[in-house]
Structures are given as C-alpha cells and as structure tokens.
C-alpha cells in the first residue's frame, strides 16, 4: 500500500470544477464539496454553470452542466480564474471545459464514459487521441469511475442504472481524499435526503467511501493536499446564493417597514428562484402572485403598493422590456415598488443561463419621457441581502420605484454569508398619511417624498394616474410650466437620495495612479486584481458602486484624485459611458461579453496596460 509514503502538500487555495452530463448530478456534487469545505473552515466561492436546455440529448455538448468551487485558506472573492482540478464525467464535459485547466492541473475523467458513441456525440473524430494534446501540460487520471462504482455496489439489489447513478459520489469521495476533506457532512446530508430509502442511502455512502479509498489505495496520486482553514471574521455563517439572499432581504425589509411583502412576478431565468423561495414563506405573511406575464407582475405589485404593501417584482432583461411602461407609471405616480432585474446574457432571449451586466442603460434610460428611477446593485451573493433591503428602503422612504440589479453570476453563485445581527437593522422611516386636514396627494416632505395615504383611509380619497399633474393637489394638468416643474421635481427627488448616502468606501489609498470603478458581480474579480496589483507595488485602488442612480456625491472627487480611471464591466461600456458624459473624465472601459466572469489575471494585465506597462 502506498498510503504511508504519500506526501501532504499545503496549498493556499484550489479551484475545482465538476462537470458532466445534466443527468450526472454535478450540481449536487459541487454543492456537497462546497458545504464540506465551508464547514471545514475554508473561505469559498462557487459558480454553477447550467445548460440552457433542461434535457439536452445525453452526452452532447449542449447538455454539459458544471459546478465550480474555489476554496481557500485566505479570504477570496471570486470562484477562480482557472482550474486546478477538472473532473469530467464524459467527453462532452471534457471538450467544453479542458481549456480552463491550469498548466500542470489535474484532469480526472470517467474513462468508462469515453465510448465511441459518446466521443462522437461530443464531436470527436474516430480514433482521435483526445488526451494527447494535454498530456505534457496536465496530470491526467483516467479512472473507470462507472465500473468502480458498480463493483463497489455489487452486493446491492438495485437496478444497474440506479447503481450507476451513484458514480458522482465516487467522484466526490475521490476529490475528498485528494484534498483531505472529511466525509461526515455529506454522509449526514445523504442520511437526511435518503433516510426513508435505506438502500439508496447505503449505496451512496458506499460509493462515496469507495471513491475515497480508491484514492488512498492506488499509487497514481503522488501527494494529497491540504487547504487549511481561512482566517475568517468570527461569527455565524451559512452558505447562500444571491437569489436566496434577495428573498430573505425582501422579508427583512418587510419587517423593517412593518408592511406585508407582496411579490408579483412571472418566471424567467435567472430570477425565478426568488419567486420560488418567497413562495415558501407564506407563514411570514408573504403574498406571492404568479402573474400571467411580466406586465401583470409589476401591475399587481403597483396595485399592492397603492394599497400600502411593500411591493416587489422580479425579472430579467426581457421582462424589464415588458415592465417599462408600468415602471414609468410607478415613477410618475410616485409609488414605492422594487423591480429586481437579475441580468442575463442578451440581447433578446439571448443566453438565458449566462451572465452579463448589459441592462444598466436599459433600467436607467429605457423608458419614454424623462423618467428618473433609482438603481441599486448587489456586488456578491451574500451582499444581495443588504442591497435588497437598501432598494426597499429607498423605495419607501423616497416614494419611488427602485431597480435592484443582480446577475446570473451572483444569483446562482454562492459564498459564506456572515449572518447579520438583526437588531442592528434600521427600521424604515415613513408613515402613512391619515389626517384629511393636512392631506394632499402630492404634498412632499423635505426629501420630496409625497404623502402616502392608502385606500381605506377616511377623508383622504384621491385619484392618481399616469397623466401629468400639478404638484401638491395632484390634479391633472398638462400645461407647459407645470410639466417642466414636475419633471424637475421628479429628477431632484432622485438626486436627493445621494445626500443620504454614506461616504464611498475606497479599497486602497485615496490617491494614486489607477482607480477601478466597478458595480455588480465584478466586485470579487476587481478586488482580487486590486490586491494583487497593490502587492506588486502599483498604486491602484478600487471603489465599487452600490448606487448607480443617483451616483454618490463624492464620486467625482474620488475619481479626480487618480491619474487613471478604469471601469471593468461585462458589457461594451455602459457605466463608463455615463461617467464619461457626466463628469467629462476619461474613464477607460475594460469590457468583456463572452458570458464569463472576469478573470483576475485579465484585469491585472489590463491595468498594467493602462499604466503603460502592459
């Protein structure tokens, strides 16, 4: 036995991707590896990658599903640029993922799945030695995962198909062994899931252990690895996806506003989870309404808002297109409603399961007339909790629709969330107007937020609508001066939000050679790039915008304290265009629309180019 001689190498961080056919259970495998690593004490960041088709033909390129985990003994902010380990359960998975494997990375393939039929489905030519080009630059382990699993389960009286389904556990067990992870949390999870089906439970545990022991027994792996615990801020944590955090954030906002939560939505990837998650919370008094389309989703939310609820609607870019007319109605009637846009690849139906930041200009400007609507963006999965609360707070305290922006990467990606002390969350500052003597529908407070009297309030009967109206009374009035005045008020009202914002946080020094200005899901990559560059001695800092409308009042001053401003975005330059036009600052776009998150190394290279050293 080789066990004794094997070395244990310590690593800072590792990125693994499990990939295979949609039916191979890769999401589950990835989630288990994630939870085990989180419980072990690593910092983690994950990013699943789903095919757009629910049931693409088995073995095809379109059917490949992947799950990437970055785990580390340091604090990390991305799911990793390139892979230390690629587990490919079939040729299609191999073909679509191999290019992301690092030089000298580990490739584990399920040899049994590399049949002539599967090779052909993945588009390989007969007799091609598909591994040859990678042999010199990666460590390849061809393992008969299916056969080993079946052998391990020989004594089980199950159908061969059911036995074969346990092969993901074998693969998981093997990776647990390579990275010295304990099996107990997965065993516990399996027990919870299959407790009522003891045979399936036993089979899965057996396959998991078989994978683990297999690594232990064969001599193929020269060493195993250890990724020690990270120095994580003390506290209670759970692993969370962005969409879950949005849902919980909305429930929290509803408590802070002391108003029931109403969500009117229509399913669309990648936003659907939020509606699904909130549907579980009826006992929290959450009303979920699956409407007939996106228009009805926001329409019902606006109605609920008129009726005094905390109202939200959730969607993605194509849904925003449909909701635009209603967003404008909420804007002119000055009713609070949060429109969550979980961006995906566009245009049109585009790339439903991929990530992009291409809706910024759409949510800012995609409506007729002058239609200022505040926009708030989340920067990471766990950040969605606070960002969702912030969107609701602005909506209610300022009486306005608010767009909440997230994207696929944040929505389905996950990371540990340090659970907040709920007592420190600030209640929303607003009151329904109930006094007929002092009521006028468009009478405003110092923030220019209008009075909110809800139907049922005696003596405050009034009608609102989409026609232009005069201030204070809200009476329909289409005269030129009134329109100009109201247009200005609506715009000023949104600008005033900026007076309430805390100073913008700067990562790094307050002056320097280069400032990264980012928003949304690029946070982790930009932050890691900033840290790298600073470690190399570059004078680089980062700010990441929570508020895209209004922009923070200190933004211009901060930008002007740097020789260069770079705006990395997963689009062709949307925030950079705004910065350039608004401040006449020569912001340089770093842009990418290849459906992938930024690689840290690319940002580092781009920064060096801007600094004249690329």
Partner 1 sequence: MSQVQELTKADFVSEGDVKWCPGCGDYAILSSVQTVLPTLGIPKEKFCFVSGIGCSSRFPYYMNTYGFHTIHGRAPTVASGVKLANPDLSVWVVTGDGDGLSIGANHTVHMIRRNMDLKVLLFNNRIYGLTKGQYSPTSEQGKVTKTSLYGSIDNPLNPLSFAIASGATFAARTNAANPKHMQETLRAAAAHKGTAFIEIFQNCNIFNDGAFAKYLNKDTKAEENLFLETGKPLLFDGETKGIIMNLDGGKPKLSVEEADPANPGVSKSGNKFLIHDPSNEDHTLAYLISYLGSISDPENPAAMGVLRAVNKPTYGEMLHSQEEEAKSAKGTGSLKDLVYSKDTWTVKETAKA
- Report if residue 465 touches partner 1, rule: CB under 8 A: yes
Q: Which of 260, 350, 512, 573 binds partner 1 (CB under 8 A)?
A: 260
Q: Of 118-126, 128-136, 213-221, 225-233, which segment contacts partner 1 by CB under 8 A?
A: 225-233
- Report if residue 311 touches partner 1, rule: CB under 8 A: yes
**CA neighbor of 291 nearest in space, from 302, 283, 282, 281:** 302
Nearest distance from C-beta of residue 93 to partner 1, angstroms: 28
Quick one: 208 or 311, whose CB is closer to partner 1?
311
From first CA to last CA, the distance across the chain in angstroms is 50
Which pair of structure tokens corresponds to residue 495?
């600008």
Q: What is the dihedral of CA 483, 487, 492, 494, to 10 degrees?
A: 140
Distance CA 507, CA 525 (A): 13
Quick one: 475 or 485, whose CB is closer to partner 1?
475
Distance CA 306, CA 445 (A): 18
Q: What is the 3-state secondary structure (H, E, C) of 318-367?
A: HHHHHHHHHHHHHHHHCCCEEEEEEECECCCCCECCCCCCCCHHHHHHCC
**3-state class (DSSP) for residue 419:** coil
Quick one: 260 or 512, whose CB is closer to partner 1?
260
**CA neighbor of 253 nearest in space, from 334, 377, 336:** 336
Q: Which of 207, 301, 514, 543 binds partner 1 (CB under 8 A)?
A: 301
- Report if residue 419 touches partner 1, rule: CB under 8 A: yes
Q: Of 45-53, 99-107, 416-424, 565-573, which segment contacts partner 1 by CB under 8 A?
A: 416-424
For the sheet with 375-377, list strands across it. Answer: 287-290, 261-265, 310-315, 337-343, 401-407, 375-377, 547-549
Q: Which of 139, 147, 213, 287 binds partner 1 (CB under 8 A)?
A: 287
Residues 581-610 vs partner 1: string with x where CB under 8 A?
------------------------------
Distance CA 231, CA 208 (A): 29
Quick one: 234 or 480, whose CB is closer to partner 1?
234
Nearest distance from C-beta of residue 87 to partner 1, angstroms: 24
Nearest distance from C-beta of residue 198 to partner 1, angstroms: 23
Footprint on residues 333-372 left by partner 1 (CB under 8 A)? 333
Residues 88-117 vs partner 1: string with x where CB under 8 A?
------------------------------
- Report if residue 295 touches partner 1, rule: CB under 8 A: yes
Q: Of 106-114, 118-126, 415-423, 599-607, which segment contacts partner 1 by CB under 8 A?
A: 415-423
Which helix (H) or strand (E) element contains residue 484? helix 480-497
Which helix (H) or strand (E) element contains residue 496? helix 480-497
Quick one: 100 or 277, whose CB is closer to partner 1?
277
**CA neighbor of 263 nearest in space, from 254, 353, 431:** 254
**3-state class (DSSP) for residue 59:** coil
Q: Which of 267, 303, 366, 573 binds partner 1 (CB under 8 A)?
A: 303
Footprint on residues 10-39 left by partner 1 (CB under 8 A)? 35, 38-39
Could you give the angle at which helices 167-178 and 26-40 cross, rounded to 10 degrees?
30
- Sign of the C-alpha dihedral computed for residues 413, 418, 419 and 424 taken in this order: negative
- Report if residue 462 touches partner 1, rule: CB under 8 A: yes
- Report if residue 299 touches partner 1, rule: CB under 8 A: yes
Quick one: 61 or 425, whose CB is closer to partner 1?
425
Distance CA 18, CA 28 (A): 10
Residue 307 DSSP label: T
- Report if residue 231 touches partner 1, rule: CB under 8 A: yes
Nearest distance from C-beta of residue 446 to partner 1, angstroms: 26
Q: How many CA atoms lie within 13 A of 137 on its CB side?
A: 9
- Report if residue 475 touches partner 1, rule: CB under 8 A: yes
Q: Count the residues of the shown chain that bind partner 1, applying the rule CB under 8 A.
A: 71
Nearest distance from C-beta of residue 206 to partner 1, angstroms: 24
Nearest distance from C-beta of residue 264 to partner 1, angstroms: 6
């Amino acid at each position: 036995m080789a066990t004794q001689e094997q070395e244990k190498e310590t690593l800072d961080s590792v990125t693994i991707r499990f990939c295979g056919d949609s039916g191979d259970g890769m999401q589950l495998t990835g989630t288990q590896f994630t939870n085990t690593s989180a419980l072990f004490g690593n910092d983690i960041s994950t990013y699943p990658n789903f095919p757009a088709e629910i049931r693409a033909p088995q073995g095809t390129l379109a059917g490949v599903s992947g799950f990437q985990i970055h785990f580390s003994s340091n604090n990390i902010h991305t799911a990793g640029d390139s892979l230390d380990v690629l587990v490919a359960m079939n040729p299609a998975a191999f073909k679509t993922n191999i290019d992301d494997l690092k030089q000298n990375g580990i490739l584990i393939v399920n040899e049994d799945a590399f049949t002539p039929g599967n090779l052909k489905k993945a588009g390989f030519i007969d007799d091609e030695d598909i591994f040859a080009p990678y042999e010199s630059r990666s460590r390849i382990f061809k393992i008969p995962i299916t056969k080993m699993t079946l052998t391990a389960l020989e004594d089980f009286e199950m159908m061969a198909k059911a036995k074969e389904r346990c092969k993901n556990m074998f693969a998981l067990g093997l990776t647990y062994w390579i990275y010295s992870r304990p099996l107990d949390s997965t065993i516990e999870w399996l027990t919870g899931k299959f407790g009522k089906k003891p045979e399936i439970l036993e089979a899965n545990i057996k396959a998991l252990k078989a994978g683990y022991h297999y690594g232990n027994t064969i001599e193929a792996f020269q060493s195993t690895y250890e990724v020690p615990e990270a120095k994580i801020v003390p506290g209670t944590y759970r692993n969370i996806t962005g969409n879950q955090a949005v849902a919980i954030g909305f429930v929290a906002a509803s408590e802070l506003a002391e108003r029931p939560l109403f969500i009117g939505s229509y399913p669309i990837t990648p936003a659907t989870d939020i509606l699904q998650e909130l549907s579980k919370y009826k006992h929290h008094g959450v009303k979920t309404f699956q409407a007939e389309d996106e228009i009805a989703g926001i329409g019902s939310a606006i109605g609920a808002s008129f009726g005094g609820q905390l109202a939200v609607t959730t969607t993605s870019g194509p849904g925003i297109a449909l909701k635009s007319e209603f967003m404008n109605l909420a804007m002119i009637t000055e009713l609070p409603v949060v429109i969550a846009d979980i961006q995906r690849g566009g245009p049109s139906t585009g790339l439903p399961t991929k990530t992009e930041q291409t809706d910024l200009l759409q949510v800012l400007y995609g409506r007729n007339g002058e239609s200022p609507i505040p926009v708030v963006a989340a920067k990471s999965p766990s950040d969605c909790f606070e960002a969702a609360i912030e969107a609701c707070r602005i909506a209610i305290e300022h009486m306005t629709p608010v767009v909440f922006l997230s994207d696929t990467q944040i929505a389905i990606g996950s990371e540990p969330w340090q659970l907040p002390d709920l007592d420190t969350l600030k209640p929303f500052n607003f009151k329904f107007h109930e006094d007929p003597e002092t009521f006028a529908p468009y009478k405003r407070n110092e923030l220019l937020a209008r009075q909110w009297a809800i139907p049922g309030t005696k003596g405050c009967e009034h009608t609102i609508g989409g026609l232009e109206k005069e201030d204070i009374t809200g009476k329909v009035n289409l005269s030129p001066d009134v329109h100009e005045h109201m247009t200005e008020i609506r715009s000023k009202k949104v600008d005033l939000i900026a007076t309430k914002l805390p100073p913008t946080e700067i990562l790094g020094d307050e002056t320097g050679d280069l400032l990264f200005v980012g928003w949304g899901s690029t946070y982790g990559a930009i932050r890691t790039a900033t840290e790298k560059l600073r470690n190399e001695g570059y004078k680089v800092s980062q700010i990441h915008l929570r508020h895209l409308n209004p922009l923070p009042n200190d933004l211009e001053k901060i930008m002007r304290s740097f020789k260069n401003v770079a705006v990395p975005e997963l689009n062709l330059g949307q925030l950079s265009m705004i910065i350039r036009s608004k401040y006449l600052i020569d912001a340089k776009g770093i842009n990418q629309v290849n459906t992938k998150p930024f690689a840290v190394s690319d940002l580092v290279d781009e920064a060096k180019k801007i600094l004249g050293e690329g």
